[in-house]
Amino acid sequence: MRNPAEQREQFAAMLTRPIPADVHSSATTLGGRPALELRIEAPGTTGEDVLLYFHGGGFVVGSARVTAHLTLALLRHLDGRAVSLDYRLAPEHPFPAAPDDCLAAYRELLDSGADPRRLVIAGDSAGAALAVITMMRARDAGLPMPAGAVLFSPAVDLTLSGPSMRSKNGVDPIFTPADLEWYFDQYIAGGDRSGPEASPVFADLAGLPPLLIQVGSSEVLLDDAVRLAGHAGAAEVAVTLEVVPGKPHVFQHDGSAEAEAALERAGQFLALRLRGDL
């Protein structure tokens, strides 16, 4: 039997990196939840760009602090600040607690004066799914869309129905379908895994802003990204899909040349969206 508390400790120990000296980090709240605000301490970085980041961890583990290095890699291309949300985690807080928190955070940013044309969203794995769900919910609530979104290895099909769940099983060095089954069981807690707000690969994606999706070719979650991109494109959403050969789930963590290049492309994508050049 896996212990969520132990899983969280292991995940944090494996991935957390020091905050660089040129970064100011501060604890804040957003949408009623704790959050981490990050700013680059450098001349000319007092602009109004806002990056809202949702961390990964299968809806069970992870935190804003654990994935701060990914948030910062994107923030370095922006002129402003990043806010990474500590949404509620399962099994203590199952679905829909996390998407409720994420929408509340997005709504508060808008209510506090953030210009949606200067606002972008990003997330990895479960956080990437929450980014998509947040935009869907915001659209349905009549809220303005952000300028764009970056999605790293989105976990958008909790039914595990993608062909890569079989074809990449044994190739993926991080996950098996059984691993994901455990995480999603904690999150959905017996609910409907195929609903659009649980598995946005099955949702209506019309009206979303331009998306950049990055995924590794070795992932059992590969087809989550591929199908999400296809459905978004079919719904007239501008979408760019990057499949990086030989790379695993959220490979942007690993510090390799491919990871650094992918983060650079993602940051440039967001910067171009904020400048209206893409």
Active site residues: 125
Those residues with Cβ within 8 angstroms of residue 219's Cβ, 6 or more apart along the chain or in another chain: 153, 164, 168, 172, 174, 175, 225, 247, 248, 249
Phi, psi of 242 (to 5 degrees): -115, 120
Beta bridge partners of 213: 151, 241
Structure tokens of 113? 């004066």
Radius of gyration of the CA atoms of the chain, in A: 17
Nearest to 48 by CA among 112, 96, 144, 129: 112
Instruction: Please check whether residue 57 is in contact with residue 125, taking contact to mean a CB–CB distance below 8 angstroms.
Output: yes
Report which DSSP code applies to 22: T
Instruction: Please check whether residue 247 is in contact with residue 218, taking contact to mean a CB–CB distance below 8 angstroms.
Output: yes
Amino acid occupying residue 268: Q
Those residues with Cβ within 8 angstroms of residue 196's Cβ, 6 or more apart along the chain or in another chain: 136, 202, 203, 204
Give the β-pairing of 23-30 and 33-40.
antiparallel
Nearest to 130 by CA among 222, 203, 210: 203
Amino acid occupying residue 185: D
| Greatest pairwise CA separation for the chain in angstroms | 51
